[in-house]
């Protein structure tokens, strides 16, 4: 896993890159938040492929628990990916509501992530 810290319009962003799943439980997300916070970033960009498939199965409650931690610790999160393969109404509604609130957003590109977090 690599964390790249950048500044965009005065905001410090951390982009997480990896070729494997790096968040499969709540503690993984907390560890990443702590690492990014230590480096001065309270805005994190992660890619969909780095999240466990259980995250996108709302019955597991993993997404809700993880996103609640981001909210509690006042950390912004952008998840970059292609969400067209997820056809369930509950997940689509979840993504819509998250995007509307703005602290946690599901976006299609890195550029959109940077824009939404700035």
Q: How far is the C-alpha of 27 from the C-alpha of 25, rounded, in Å?
A: 6
Cβ neighbours for 34, distance < 8 A, ≥ 6 positions apart: none
CATH code, residues 2-117: 3.30.750
Confidence class of residue 34 from pLDDT cuts 50, 70 and 90? very high
For residue 33, give the nearest of 82, 9, 66, 80 by alpha carbon: 66
Which value, in Å, is the radius of gyration of the alpha carbons in the chain?
A: 13
Confidence class of residue 26 from pLDDT cuts 50, 70 and 90? very high
* CA distance readout (Å), 109 to 86, 102, 116: 17, 16, 11
Q: Residue 62 is inside which H or E element, if any?
A: helix 62-72
For residue 43, give the nearest of 110, 103, 107 by alpha carbon: 103
92-104: pLDDT as tens digits: 999 999 999 889 9
């Amino acid at each position: 896993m690599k964390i790249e810290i950048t500044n965009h319009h005065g905001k410090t962003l951390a982009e997480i890159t990896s070729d494997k799943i790096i968040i499969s439980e709540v503690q993984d997300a907390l560890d990443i938040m702590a690492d990014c916070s230590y480096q001065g970033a309270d805005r994190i960009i992660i890619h969909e492929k780095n999240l466990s498939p259980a995250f996108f199965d709302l019955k597991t409650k993993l997404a809700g628990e993880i996103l609640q931690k981001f909210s509690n610790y006042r950390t912004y999160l952008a998840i970059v990916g292609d969400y067209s393969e997820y056809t369930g109404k509950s997940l689509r509604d979840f993504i819509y509501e998250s995007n509307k609130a703005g602290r946690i957003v599901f976006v299609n590109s890195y550029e959109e992530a940077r824009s939404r977090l700035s």
